[in-house]
Amino acid sequence: MRNKHLLYLVLCKEYIIKMRYFLIFSFIITSFISNTLYGKEKLQQIAIVDLRRVAAESKAGKGIDSQADDKNKESKKEFSDLEEKIKSMESSKLSGSDPRKIEELQLILYDMVKERRFQISEAYKIAIAKLEEIVKEAIKEIASEKGIDIVLIADAVIFSGVSCKDITVEVIDRVNKKCEHISLKVIGNKNA
């Protein structure tokens, strides 16, 4: 019975997400039709932007990903060195190591790894939030300069009977001009 409820919740969530996109698209189409029917001379100018591509291809986005990879590699090396020391203590009968002490050290190491992953994840979220603000600012500027009334996320557009200008490349260029680097500052990390 519980599985049916979970499945129902998952299906409801998916339905809500699809409905949100449908409502956004419906609003845009309705707006377009009403402007045409009521004789407004200027049709709405619509553009799309691929945010994933902006994050992946902008210098700041690439830098954030690179820094996160570097931080993860540093942590992995640091913790694997500690793990090796614990293993050598475990295998060394000469030191007379207490098995409970070794187990306790392994738990401490596990907690340290978990905490570091959390710190890197939080630093990544903060850096991405900064990038999102810069991207939004760039989109607003480009839309204003080009007389674009509506900018949609490319993933939200399934079909459009109206021509939509793709401004992704222009947004990437503008973001690169505004900010080439965003630092990934890991709190509690001596190398931050």
In this prediction, residue 158 carries a pLDDT of 73
State whether 76 and 148 are in the same domain.
Answer: yes
How does DSSP assign 82-127, residue by residue? HHHHHHHHHH-TTTT--HHHHHHHHHHHHHHHHHHHHHHHHHHHHH
State whether 38 and 50 are in the same domain.
Answer: no
- Expressed in angstroms, the distance from the first to the final Cα of the chain is 49
Report if residue 183 sits inside a domain.
no
| Confidence label for 167 from pLDDT (cuts 50, 70 and 90) | very high
- Residue 60 confidence (pLDDT) above 90: yes
State whether 38 and 86 are in the same domain.
Answer: no
Report if residue 63 sits inside a domain.
yes
Most confident stretch, 6-15, 56-65, 98-107: 56-65
Report if residue 9 sits inside a domain.
yes
Q: Give yes or no for a contact between 105 and 157, defined as CB atoms under 8 angstroms apart.
A: no
In this prediction, residue 94 carries a pLDDT of 47
Number of domains in the chain: 2
| Confidence label for 159 from pLDDT (cuts 50, 70 and 90) | confident
Q: What whole-number percentage of the chain has pLDDT above 70?
A: 69
- Both tokens of 126, joined, read 């903060």
- Across the range 165-189, mean pLDDT stands at 88
